[in-house]
Amino acid sequence: MCGIVGYIGKRNSLNIIFDGLKRLEYRGYDSAGVAVINEKNEINYFKKAGKVKELENEFNGEVLEGKIGIGHTRWATHGEPNDNNAHPHFDMNKNITIVHNGIIENFKTLKKKLTQEGYTFSTDTDTEVLANLIEYYYKSKNNFEIAVRLALSEVEGTYGIACMCKSEPDKIIIARMGSPLMFGLGKDEIIVSSDAAAIVNHTKNVIYLEDGEMAVLKRDSFQIKTIDDEDIQREVQQIEYDLEEIEKGGFEHFMLKEICEQPESIQNTYRGRINFETGEVKLGGLDSVKEKLINAKRIIITGCGTAWHAGLVGEYIIEQFCRIPTEVEYASEFRYRNPVISKDDIVLFISQSGETADTRAAMKEAQRLGATAIGIVNVVGSTIAREVDCGTYIHAGPEIGVASTKAFTSQLMSLILITLMIGKHKGTISESELKEIAKELKALPEKIKQIIEKRNDYKFVAEEFKDSKNFLYLGRGFNFPVALEGALKLKEISYIHAEGYPAAEMKHGPIALIDENMPVVFIATKDKTYDKIISNIEEIKARKGKIITIATDDDTEINNYSDYILRVPNTLPIFSPILNSIPLQFLSYYIATARNCNVDQPRNLAKSVTVE
- The one catalytic residue in 171, 424, 489, 607 is 607
Strands (E) in 352-466, as ranges, are: 372-377, 390-393
- To the query of whether residue 322 is one of the catalytic residues in this protein, the response is no
Residues in touch with ligand G6P (CB under 6 A): 303-307, 351-353, 356, 359, 402-404, 605-609
- Work out how close the CB of 74 gets to ligand G6P at its nearest, in angstroms, rounded to a whole number: 17
262 and 405 in contact (C-beta within 8 Å)?
yes
21 and 3 in contact (C-beta within 8 Å)?
yes
Q: Select 417 or 609, whichever has its Cβ closest to ligand G6P.
A: 609
Cα 611 to Cα 327: distance, rounded to the nearest angstrom: 25
**Taking CB positions, which residue lies at the least distance from ligand G6P?**
305
- Please state, in angstroms and as integers, the Cα–Cα distance from residue 568 to each residue in 377, 378, 456, 457, following that order: 28, 26, 14, 11
For residue 118, give the DSSP letter: T
- Work out how close the CB of 291 gets to ligand G6P at its nearest, in angstroms, rounded to a whole number: 28
- Work out how close the CB of 355 gets to ligand G6P at its nearest, in angstroms, rounded to a whole number: 6
Cα 588 to Cα 259: distance, rounded to the nearest angstrom: 11
- Work out how close the CB of 254 gets to ligand G6P at its nearest, in angstroms, rounded to a whole number: 13
55 and 72 in contact (C-beta within 8 Å)?
no
Which residue from 348, 508, 468, 509 is spatially nearest to 415, judged by alpha carbons?
348
Cα 284 to Cα 286: distance, rounded to the nearest angstrom: 5
- Work out how close the CB of 27 gets to ligand G6P at its nearest, in angstroms, rounded to a whole number: 10
151 and 134 in contact (C-beta within 8 Å)?
yes
- Work out how close the CB of 363 gets to ligand G6P at its nearest, in angstroms, rounded to a whole number: 11
Which residue from 576, 575, 602 is spatially nearest to 591, judged by alpha carbons?
602
- Work out how close the CB of 382 gets to ligand G6P at its nearest, in angstroms, rounded to a whole number: 9
Q: Select 35 or 606, whichever has its Cβ closest to ligand G6P.
A: 606
**DSSP code per residue over 291-354:** HHHHT-S-EEEEESHHHHHHHHHHHHHHHHHH---EEEEEHHHHTTS-----TT-EEEEEESSS
H-helix or E-strand spanning residue 153: none
Q: Select 171 or 489, whichever has its Cβ closest to ligand G6P.
A: 489
**DSSP code per residue over 540-592:** HHTTTPEEEEEEETT--GGGGT-SEEEEE----GGGHHHHHHHHHHHHHHHHH
- Work out how close the CB of 329 gets to ligand G6P at its nearest, in angstroms, rounded to a whole number: 14
- The one catalytic residue in 2, 163, 165, 260 is 2
31 and 48 in contact (C-beta within 8 Å)?
yes
Q: Select 353 or 479, whichever has its Cβ closest to ligand G6P.
A: 353
Cα 89 to Cα 71: distance, rounded to the nearest angstrom: 11
- To the query of whether residue 2 is one of the catalytic residues in this protein, the response is yes
Cα 410 to Cα 394: distance, rounded to the nearest angstrom: 6
Query: What residues act catalytically?
Result: 2, 607
